[in-house]
Amino acid sequence: MRARCSSSGAGSTRASGLYSGTSEYEACTAGPSALFLLRVSAPTTTQLTRIRELFQPTLNFLGYELYDLALTGSGGHTTLRVQIDRPQGVTLDDCERVSKSLSALLDQADPLPTRYDLEVSSPGAERPLRNLDEYRRFIGRRANVRYRLGESEQVAEGRLIAVVSEEMIELQLGEGKHKKIAAIPLADILSARLAVDLSRH
């Protein structure tokens, strides 16, 4: 479930909107992305770099990591997608707070000249695992890993239990007497993400 607010404009745009109540907050706390929309222009590398530099000091001050930043769309409809993160997780209130702060920065700096959507969200329950720090952070969580095995590809899903010598991760597959450990070299991993752990619900 996602919570959403939106408004439209051209160039410098003020934010206003509606959000949903407690059920969306609970869903966001449990994992799925919370979402806020505002009405931003044609994506370029220069624009994205400028926006990242614009946002970073404020997000650092507020205590959030800029997890991802992207400009999508074309023509008259472009979306600036901002994903935020922090160690204790991201709630709907966090997305609301950051959305208001970033929209004020965009109003002032006006880096995108035409109509736009600003979308602020958490990485979500099935977020990608992109580097060693993220593997370490999520030890104990369930993960889905696609990796090379010889000439073929395999997919393993299990509990992430270790990062070994910065060269390998270990997944626990199964439980009880069916439990086994899969050791996967980092160099062979094609993609990895967190997986929803039904045992936690």
201 residues of the chain, pLDDT tens digit each: 233 333 233 343 333 332 322 223 333 333 445 555 544 434 467 888 899 999 999 999 999 999 999 988 766 678 889 999 998 889 999 999 999 999 999 988 888 776 788 999 999 989 999 999 999 999 999 999 999 999 999 999 999 999 998 899 999 998 888 899 999 999 999 999 999 887 655
Examine the domain organization and report whether 32 and 113 are in the same domain.
Answer: yes
- Chain length of the chain: 201
Q: What is the pLDDT of residue 24?
A: 33
- Of the CA atoms within 13 Å of residue 171, those in its CB half-sphere come to 23
Please tell me the distance from the alpha carbon of residue 84 to that of residue 174, in angstroms, as a whole number. 32
Q: What total of structural domains would you count in the chain?
A: 2
For residues 1 and 23, the answer to whether their CB atoms sit within 8 Å is yes
What is the pTM (predicted TM-score) of this model? 0.69
Point out the domain boundary residue: 74, 90, 121: 121
In terms of residue numbers, what domain contains 112? 22-121
DSSP letters, 78-140, are EEEEEEEE-TT---HHHHHHHHHHHHHHHHHH--S-S--EEEEE---TT-B--SHHHHHHTTT
Examine the domain organization and report whether 99 and 189 are in the same domain.
Answer: no
Examine the domain organization and report whether 145 and 106 are in the same domain.
Answer: no
Q: What is the pLDDT of residue 39?
A: 45
How remote is the C-alpha of 79 from its chain's centroid? Answer: 15
Would residue 65 count as lying in a domain? Answer: yes
Distance separating the N- and C-terminal Cα atoms of the chain: 16
Examine the domain organization and report whether 95 and 148 are in the same domain.
Answer: no
Examine the domain organization and report whether 89 and 162 are in the same domain.
Answer: no
Q: What is the pLDDT of residue 3?
A: 30
Examine the domain organization and report whether 117 and 136 are in the same domain.
Answer: no
Would residue 70 count as lying in a domain? Answer: yes
